[in-house]
Every structure is written in structure tokens, then in C-alpha cells.
Amino acid sequence: MTEFKEPIFAELNKLFEERIVILDGATGTELQTYKLQEEDFRGEEFKDWCCDVKGNNDLLCLTKPDLIKKVHLDYLNAGSDFIETNTFNANCISMLDYQMEKYVKRINIAAAQLAKEAAEEVYKATGVKRYVCGAIGPTNRTCSISPSVEKPEFRNVTYDQLVEAYTEQIEALIEGGADILLIETIFDTLNAKAALFATNSVLDKLGRRLPIMISGTITDASGRTLSGQTVDAFYTSMRHGELFSIGLNCALGTEAMRPHIARLAEIGEAWVTAYPNAGLPNAMGEYDQTPEEMAQELTDFMASGLVNLVGGCCGSRPHHIAAIKKASIGIKPRPKGTRDSNMVLSGLERLVVNKETGFLNIGERCNIAGSLKFKRLIKNNDYDAAMAIAREQVENGATVIDFNLDDGLVDGEQAITKLINLCVSDPDISKVPFMVDSSNFAVIEAGLKCVQGKCIVNSLSLKGGEEPFIEQAKLVKRYGAAVVVMAFDEVGQAATEADKIRICKRAYDLLVGPKIGFPPEDIIFDPNVLTIATGLEEHNNYAVDFLNATKWIKENLPGAKVSGGLSNLSFSFRGVEKIRQPMHSIFLYHGIKDYGIDMAIVNAGTMPVYTDIDPEIVRLCEAAIFNKQDLGDGRNVVEALTELADKLRTQKDSTEKAAEEWRSKPVEERLSYALVKGIVEHIVKDVDECRQNKAKYPKCLHIIEGPLMAGMSIVGDLFGSGKMFLPQVIKSARVMKKAVGHLIPFMEDEKSGDSSSQGKIVLATVKGDVHDIGKNIVGVVLGCNNYEIIDLGVMTPLPTIMDAIKEHKPNIVGLSGLITPSLDEMVTVAKEFKRCKLDIPLLIGGATTSKMHTAVKLNPHYKNVVHVLDASKSVVVCGSLMGPTKEEFLEDTTDMYDEMRDEYWAGVKDRKYLTLDQAREKGLKIDFLKTPPACKPTFLGSKVYEYPLEEVIPYIDWNPFFQVWQIRGKYPNRGYPKLFNCPEVGEEARKLFDDAQKMLKDICAKKTYKLKGIVSFHAANSKGDDIVLYKDEERKEVLETFLGLRQQVQKDTAEPYYALGDFVAPPGIPDYLGQLVCACFGCDDLVAEFKKAQDDYGIIMAEALADRLAEGYAEVLHKDIRRKYWGYETSEEQCADDLIKQAYKGIRPAPGYPSQPDHHEKKKMWSTCPVDEETGISLTESLAMLPAASVSALVFGHPESVYFAVGKIQKDQVADYAKRRSVSLKEAEHDLGFNALAYEPDEE
């Protein structure tokens, strides 16, 4: 694709930035009003045509050009900026219906010329430039769906036929003068991919670059295209096409289209468009929606910031467009999206490959080279059975399916076309992305031409030199696929670390360079897993070379991923699976954890769990993998493995018999074994055996709470420690699901009667937030008061909440959130409630929420909103909302909020502030010569620490624990441990504390929880309010800048106006900044157990203890930072109580909290320190930490550093801060939020 962009791009980008752009309406609808007859369509030229042509609207460009031009002028005069050519069906495939395929070029040229003439006329008359979109319809055939139920692999059109048809149409539209190419009404994404391929190929051939607009069609309420893709998957399949815009049209009315447009607006990197139908057709197939109604609904799209261009599809006419144009005036368009740097793949659903996704399992069983069974099925033409293998892999947890049909006796192109066409027709298979795998590029192309999603090509290499590599890579990019590149060049296969690095670096530079422009995130290197333990010395280091090359690639080739085929590694021991599979598991265990392998083609279901492998096999395999040849017992590792292989071969029969010995163990042990191993065959029989034992298990629930949950606990521990892979966990979950599913009918019989509930309540922790302790408590309390609770869990997106309201019709909805970005999401939900004209009471709760925030930020958008302080108040509030005084209660609450809001803004205005310059002048001025910075830390960079739970427990601050449970002592018995003496709550507090100690003891004994943290130190200096981190001690290259905010509220004392930058020395004086991030892992697994056991008490206790352990761990880490890792207070002797009271030198404030209320500063911690990679602690899109029990902090060592709260700040500082952050004032105001701003920001 040429890098040149024509001037129209700058024109249109400016236009789309400034205002909402208006597209025309339906040409076909307008033509219908003229009641044209057969002779009108035929005209003079086609009066003797061989078949009827009535309905061939595109033909009117030749037979009634004046009418077509008039329709264009009517839409332009109504306010359209863009008009579409009358060419929706002007392609040789659709024209076959009229036997007029040879007229395609003439029709398209004429259509573009007519539209261009109309646009130029109106431009001259009005001075407002108008543009012509060359309309490219989907054709009347589908490339992804068979027209025959009996032959699902059959297609009545091929990809190549579509490309040929689209090429002819696109060349003619460009020749006729179209400004833009609009591929629209896409119901089959593969058709659109063919259109994109043709479009970009034509533009390349012509040396031109025109804007490409894409518009899909959601066919029903399921939110999918006709070919089955979600909106996310559809966009993922299209985004390779260098799009100017992405959007939706047709099929749905405005209201039904809204959530899908909102999703495109959220994920789309291009401009977003929407031109829905004028409502839905009536019984007569006509559209009744008035211009005013359509304009009103589209106004919501525009005002909500979802779109850049709007128009009309079926049923819309010029007066609809005039109304929409009028409604658009003054509304700001959606800002253009930013590119997602993650690899994103798709089948019917989207797969984002990032740190949260983790290791990617690519199913290997649909590979002729990897499965003799699959090879036999393909050769026998048994494709149904071959599909069953693909389906089974998805069920077992494969996130991508590899298809390889390379064999001398198989026609690869024909076979892969048939197999993929079949698999595409099965939604259970095609929901995941495909990998098209072949050493023959023609076979790869055949496979790509069948896949509507974004897949992976496996593979390309430099074996044939740069020229074919570049050409093939260009084609892969044009097909819209990611690519695997083998470490292979003209010399041969890379074996050594140096050769692997050299070839991968060369290939990467070619791919991302100007000749190809391949997205770096879509590049996957396979540095060649080669066979070890062969007896040849030159092979001994092959695994080490692969792993080291992997680490280098991840560190030096931005965006690139690493994959590998494991079967080569153990090829020396072919036939001895008892060595091969453990070796693969051990290699992956270390490769993922320590070197960064992203994905591999594996049959994970056959690999043993790392901890289940015989220790001797682990010892020998690790010695072979890491080239530790001398075992210290007179043998080398190859000899030892060979001896073991010979032994295992002779013991094969007895080993297989031993594998079934577990069946003779007690039933509880059998259940646990089956869950851990994922063995489903005997589960129903074993569960029934428990069920028959009424003395031990009087109720089925006891079976779930007992042996079943014990087994799942082991699975959770193994997975949490990285010793089980996701597919193996999924197999365990399937076993559990089958067991519980078998018990459910019996549990229903055990229920004693039905009870009517007080009402139905939907609860949710809002999108981006992972904290749910408070919500869980509220749910338990309300449940105990006979309310039916529908708990949507954590990180709940708005569409899920709205869907739950439609499905469950609740009496009340409750939202929870802990972090400050959650407050903004609550505002979004409140606005949507108002937009949808709901009147359901909306309860607000969570640590960062407040009655004042509800009054100021939520109540203006939705009147029926009520803040609930804690669970104890929830029953009273819900009772008021469900009783006869509901309306009175809401009116009183709204009146109270009105008064609070007025008082708040009056108070903010009355409060006195210093200007930013004044506050800086009165900031803390440390004399760093008299009071020098803390000493140099013992290391620079980062280190990971894992502390035993027992070491952290003494440092738990129990006061927040009791606050979670809402147990509060009264003076003089407030706070732990004095509240044990409180007459009112002392006894319950002691019981709760004892239960906590029991659970902690149990957690320690079972190692259910695990504490992991990372500490880093960097050279640092202050720069005004900010702190600059350097890459090294030379302090020449800046690594990152942490931004500070300064107190501005006027003080009555001489106390300085603090900013965090005050505590760090200026340039010229060496200083340092520490960081710590730590978490308690394992809580989710324990909570899952309690949820399955319906043990709400256990859930809340487990989460509360995890939070306390994480905070205690942060306290211990900070202590050891001061005493050992930084070492500026080596003689510090503080007890746990002193630490909790912060009686130490230095501070550890957290980004997003009082000293720096912008959570976005957390991102800088993750970018300067390998937090996610080394610990698994990650950030959500709303900057909450995962797991929920996590703590992050910046660590300051200067003795004059103190904790402080920035408080409210004025607009001058926010503007200055926005400039330093390189964001708009509006974005800075949004991110700082209600609690930080001393003024009410403009809504616009």
C-alpha cells in the first residue's frame, strides 16, 4: 500500500474533528416514491432485454440519469455532506440476476459521475464542499455460509470470485470520480474482507490512496452479524484495512443499534459512523418512523459522543436527513480513537492477547504431522470426525486451533478449504481464532480465503531470501492475519542463540519497515525448538539457546510474541510419552515464567501437571533442558534419561495398570483425584456413592462442600502457582460441573417449600473495579431479609447491567465501587438510566462513594438515586423504597441532595485558595546539604520477594478488618483490641476474631494464599512539583516522570504547601525513589469455593483477610526497604503497632490517593518496573489492581517527607497539570475527579 495520502484525508479529518458529518438517506426508498414501472427501468437502450429488470435500481444510472441526479440533489439540499453512488448492487455477481454483468463498469462510472456532478453543483451554490462515497454492497451471496444444509462445506461464491467482482466495481467507481470508497451493509465479514483486499489492491495498482469506510450490519437482537460475529470480532477482522471509519447501518432501528455503536465507539480507532433504518418495518414492509422521531433518537447517539457521521438507511428520505442535520448542529463529534497495541485475534468472538490473557494454548490435534488419528481421518475423507477433534480441543481449553494438512498424499489446497469451511459452519469451533499452518504458501492462501475472523499464518521465513518473504508478508497483511516467522534464512535453520537472534532481528526489521509496514504486535517468532539429549554435544544447548533467544526477542523487538512447537524438544525419546510429555510440561513451566514464551502449539490435555511429575524425571529433564550434563553421580544426563526411557518402556504395562489404582481408594480421594486430573468418566458413579451414604452426607450440598470443594481447592492452588495450565483447569471445571449438575435435581427435591421474596435487587461492582467485599455483605444482609439478590459480580459493564434489568425486572439496582474511577462509571450508569427513562431506585455504595458525591455528581443525572452508607442501612433504605412511602422517601432524598449540592458549591466558592505560583512559592524547601537525601539503595532496578504468611500476620492492622464487618466499639472501647471490652459488640468481635484466626491458620497450613511483591529503586531528582526517574546512575536519560500536585487550599498556619516533588533532591544532588507493589494471591480460588458452597460468611472472611494480608505485607516490605533493601534506617527498631501508626522515617504514598489523586500515575509504576511480568499483578482499564488484595506505593526516604492530602485544587493547577501530562484540560479534570476539583468543570 502506498504511503502517499491524498489531500482529501486532511480535509475529512478536519471536518470529522469539528462537527457531526451527515450522510444521505436511502436511495432505494426515495426511488420507490416515483412508482417506476418496467419500461422506466428498461429505457430505450434495454427495451428488448431478455428478462425483467424492474427493481434493478442501479440500472437507472443509465436509463434515468436525471432522476438519479435529482435524488442526489434532494439529499444534498437537505443537508448531506456525503452522498452515496447508486451502486449498491452494481457488481457482476448481483447483476447475474438480470443477466447484465457486462454493464457493471458503465453503471459504476455513470453513477459516480452523476453523484459528483450533483455534489459540485451544490458546492458551488453553498460554498460547503460535498463528497461522493462509492457505494459497495455485500453482493447477494455469502462466502462464510453454505446455502445448503446438507452440504455445510459448500459455498455458492468463492473469495476469488468476490475479489474479482469488487475489483471491477472499485476501478470503475474511482474512474467515475468517487472521493471515498464505502463498503457497506456487511452481513458476512468474509465478503467484506474480500472487498478490502480488492480495494487496497486496486489503490496500490493505481498508486492512489482514498479513504475507506466500513459499515457492518447487525441482523438481530443477538448483537451478531448474519455470519455470527460479535461487533468486537467484526471490527477486529476489519481493522487491518487502513480504515477511515467503521460503523453500522441497516437491519436495526436506532434504539436497537445503540449498544453496538457504543461498543464500536469504545474500541474503534477510526471515526465511527451510524446510519440506521427509519425504525423497523411494519406488517406491510414499510417504515413508519417520522423524521422528528429518527432525529431525536440519533441526537442521543451524537450527544453521547458515540459517532462522527450519521445518516439514514432503509425508510429514510430527504426530510429525515434534514431533521437529523438540524439536530446535529452544535453537538461535538466523538474524538478519534487511539490504536490498540495489543495483538487482537478473532473467530466469532474477539481474543485480546495481552498480559491478562496469559499463555496462549494453540490446539495441535488438527495437524497431520502431530496426530496420526487426524491424518487417517483426512485421508479417509472423514471430515465429520476431523471436526469433532477440533471441537474437542476448544472444549478442552484451546484458545486458537491450528490447521495443518501438509502431506504428500493430500491435496492441501482442496483439503484445507473443505475443512475450514466445515469448521466455520460450527459455532462451537469457529468462536475461536484459527491458525492456518503450512509450508506451502498456496495452501496458506487457500485457508485465509475461508476465514472471516482474524487468524494467524504459520509460517513465513527468509529461507528463500528477502524478495519472496516481503511479497508473502505483504499478502498476509492484506488478508488481515497475524504471522509466525520461523528462524530460518538462506543459510539454514537457526540453531544457536546468536543465529536465532540475528535472523529474528532481520525479519522484524523487514516486517515493520517501510516496505511492508506489518503491525509489530501481530508478529510471532518461532526461534526453533530443537531436539536435546541426542548424545551429540552440539545439541546439548539447544533448549537454552531457544529460551535465551526468546528473552532477547521480548526485550528488544517491541510488540513481538514468541511461540514454539514442543514436539521436537523430546524427539530423542519418541515412543516414551512418560518422558516426552513431562519434558514438555517442564520446558513450558520455566519458559513461560522466566523467559516470556507467549504461546505454543500443544496438546495440553496430555501434559502432566508440573507438581505431579516424578521428582527424578523433573531433575533429569531440567538438567537436560538447562544443559547441566554432569549429574554428580558419575553419569551424564543423556545416559540417565536413556536408562530411564529403557526402564519405562519395559514397565509400560504395569504402569498403565497402576494408573487405575486410584479407583480402589476411598470415594473422597477418588473425587479429588478425578477433579485434579480432569477425569470425567467415573464422576457420576462416585458422586452417587456419596449420595447413597446418608449418614455421612445427609444432603447433596454436603457432598459439594466436602470432597468436591477439597479437590477444586487443590486445582486452584496449582493453577495459582503456575503449575497447571488453563486447559487443564477447564477440564477440572468440567468434571466439577458434571458432578454438581448431577446433584442439582436431587437438591431441588430436598428443598422445603417455596417462599415469596420481599423484592428483587440487582447488585454489581461497576466496570473496571474488582472489589466486592462491601457488595457481598450488602447482598448477604438483604438476602437474609428475604430479598432476591441477582449478583452480577465485579467489573460489570453497562450493557450487562441494562441486560440484567430487562431480564430480571428488579425493584432496585445497587452499584458498588472502591476506586475513584468507579465514581465516573456510576455517573455513566446514572445517565443511561435517565436516557432509558427508567424509574428504578439506584443505590450507591462503596469506599470512595459518599452522600455528597451522590448529591453533586449523580442526582443531577438521575433523581431516583440514593447513597447507602453501609449494609446496616441497606435494609432500612430498601424497605422504604419497597413500601407505600416510596415516592415520599425519594422526594425527601432528592430535596436533601438539592440542598447539599447548593451548600457544596457555595462552600467551594467561599473557600480561599492560593494561586499555583503562590503555593509553589510556599512549598516545602528542604536544605538537602544540611539534611541530605537517604543513602544509595543496595541495588538499582527491581527484585521480586515472596514472604511467608506467618511473617506478615503479626503486622496485620485489624481495625479495617472490623470496619469491613461494621463492628464498631463505643468510647472508651473503640478500636482493636479495646473493642473486645465493649459491652455491645465485644462478644461478637471476639467470635469474629477467633474465626479469622482459624481461617488464617487454615490458610497457612494449606498455603491457600501466597504473598508476592516487587521492589524497585531508580536514580531520581525533582523537577518542580514532579519527580524524574533516570535509566541509570549517570542520570542522562530520563526513564519516566511522576507528576505531582500541590496543595492550594489556604492554611491558617505556617505549614508548607506540599507536593511530592518537595521530598526529592533537585538535579546535582544524587537521590533515589523506591516503588513497591505487592498482593495476596489465592483469594479468588478460596472465594470460589465458598460461593459454590453458598458460604457467604466464608466469602467475606476470605476477602477481608486477603486485604489485610496484602496491607500487612506492604508494611513488612516497607520496613525491610528501610532497614535492608534501601538501608537508610538499619538500626530501626519498631514494633508492629509503631509501624501501623507510621512511626518511622520516610513515607509510602499510593498513586490515586490523597497525595496524588490521579490513578493514571500507576501506569508509570507498571512501565518502569516489570510488575505484571514478574508478579502477575495487573491493572484493569479503570486502573484497579488485580488481584483485588493489592497495594502499590512510591517510597520516599528523606526524613522530612510526610504524608499529606492535596485536597481541592484550582483550575490554574489543573491546566498546568494537563499540559505536563500532554492531555486536554477536560481529560485531566475527568481523571482527577470530583474529590480533587475546587470548581465545577464545564459539561462540554
Q: Which of 61, 1216, 1085, 1234 is nearest to 70 (CA)?
A: 61
Q: Which three cell numbers stand for residue 1231?
A: 481523571
Residue 174: phi and psi, rounded to 5, are -65, -40
Which ranges in 1007-1150 belong to alpha helices (H)?
1083-1092, 1096-1120, 1136-1140
Preceding peptide of 459 cis, ω within 30° = yes
Name the residues annotated as catalytic: 769, 771, 822
Q: Facing residues of 944 across strands? A: 1014
User: How large is the C-alpha radius of gyration of the chain?
Assistant: 33
What burial class does residue 666 get, using C-beta atoms within 10 Å of its C-beta: 0-12 exposed, 13-18 middle, 19+ buried?
exposed
Question: Which amino acid is located at 505 in the chain?
Answer: K
In the block, which residue shows the cell 516414551? 576
Taking the C-alpha atoms of residue 882 and residue 797, their distance in angstroms, rounded to an integer, is: 26
Which amino acid belongs to residue 262? A
- Distance in angstroms (rounded) separating the CA atoms of residues 1141 and 209: 65
C-alpha cell at 256: 436497537
Say whether 853 sits in a helix, a strand or coil: helix
Distance CA(318)–CA(33), nearest Å, equals: 12
Q: Would you call 1062 helix, strand, or coil by DSSP?
A: helix
> Could you tell me how many residues make up the chain?
1244
Query: Angle 785-788-793 (CA atoms, 0-180°, nearest 5)?
Result: 110
- Tell me how far apart the alpha carbons of residues 1123 and 938 are, in angstroms, rounded to a whole number: 11
Scanning 5-64, the segments in alpha helix (DSSP H) are 8-18, 27-32, 38-42, 60-63
What is d(CA 591, CA 292) in angstroms, rounded to the nearest whole number? 62
- Please report, in angstroms and rounded to a whole number, the separation of the first and last CA atoms in the chain: 39
How many of the other CB atoms lie within 10 Å of CB of 3?
A: 7
Exposed, middle or buried by CB within 10 Å (0-12, 13-18, 19+), for 419? buried
Asked if residues 1070 and 1020 have their Cβ atoms less than 8 Å apart, the reply is no
Residue type at 1114 in one-letter notation: A
What amino acid is encoded at 420 in this protein? I
Distance CA 578, CA 1128 (A): 53
SS3 1104: helix
* In 869-948, alpha helices (H): 871-882, 886-910, 916-921
What 3-state DSSP class applies to 1191? Answer: strand
Indicate the DSSP class of residue 1234: T
- 3-class secondary structure, 79: coil
Give which of 751, 753, 836 is closest to 801, Cα–Cα.
836
CA atoms within 13 A of residue 281's CA, in its CB half-sphere: 10
- In angstroms, the CA 869 to CA 423 distance is 53
CA dihedral defined by 245, 251, 253, 255, rounded to 10 degrees?
A: -70
**Going along 500-585, which residue ranges are E strands?**
523-526, 561-562
Please answer whether residues 1200 and 1063 qualify as being in contact, where contact means their C-beta atoms are separated by less than 8 angstroms.
Answer: yes
CA–CA gap between residue 342 and residue 887 (Å, rounded): 49
| Cα-based angle 163, 166, 170 (whole degrees, multiple of 5) | 135
